[in-house]
Structures are given as C-alpha cells and as structure tokens.
Amino acid sequence: MKKLLLTAFSFLAIGMAPVVAQDDCEFEAQVEFYTAMWGAEISWEITNDAGDIALDGGNYEDYDAEAYVHCFEPGCYQLHMYDSFGDGWNAAFMSLNFPDAGIMLGDITLESGNYDVFNFALGAECEFEEGT
C-alpha cells in the first residue's frame, strides 16, 4: 500500500510541476484582442511564408478580451483579418507586440470590408507581393 501511495504521489507531483518558459524563443509575441459589437463575425490567423497557420483566433463574444503569448521563429508572416458580415471589425482591434525584440506593431484593425492582410517580418528579409 505504501508503494502504491508513493507512486501516486510521485505522479501527481510531476503533473503539477510549473511550466518553464522557453529559453530558446527568439520572438515571443504578446497578442491581445479586443472586440466591441459583433464579435462573432471576427476571425484572424497569422501564417508563415509556407502558408502554415502559426496562430489564430475567432469565435469571440461582444466586448470580449483575449490574450495570447506565442513563440515565433524568424521569418516572414502575414496577419489575415476576416469579417464574415463584411463591414470591418466595428472598433475591435488586436495588439501584436514582440517586447524582447523591441518590435511593437501596435493596434491593428480591419477598418472595412471582409478581408485585409498585414505583413511583417521577424529577423528576416522578406519580399511581399503587391496587394498582400
């Protein structure tokens, strides 16, 4: 019985160990997203130059606030902003910042329409196509 309790306690202790921050994260992003009205219409994704989704969000409530911390590799990225109704984000915005690297992209929004893209580079030389 003592051996069983010791094993169970060891398993719980390991499972409750604190999460250690990644020391090898070159570009740690702090992303905050705020909605006003019509939050359910809003979605976004950040893709790398291969088109893979690095981070995304959506399915928001009205007057919602979400925060994300994400590690990005050096490279070329695009923030794709969507609005399913087509009238923009209605005062919603996201803050995309990389404080350790001194990169502050600030508050970004979709002013009108159903789609826009914002290009950014992290430690890489990037050539983005016109109109994207």
Name the token pair of 124: 């890489």
Express as a percent the part of the chain with pLDDT over 70. 80
CB atoms within 10 A of CB 9: 10
CA distances from 129 to 14, 37, 110, 126 (A): 49, 33, 20, 10
Name the token pair of 82: 């969507």
Mean pLDDT of 59-73: 96
**What confidence score (pLDDT) does residue 84 get?**
97
Residue 5 vs residue 97, higher pLDDT: 97
Mean pLDDT of 26-43: 96
Please tell me the chain's helix, strand, coil percentages from 3-state DSSP, rounded to the nearest 5: 15, 45, 40
Mean pLDDT of 10-29: 56
Express as a percent the part of the chain with pLDDT over 90. 74
Starting at the edge strand found earlier in the chain, the sheet holding 93-98 runs 65-72, 27-34, 93-98, 103-108
* Mean residue pLDDT across the chain: 85
Q: Which of 66, 65, 64, 78 is nearest to 115 (CA)?
A: 78
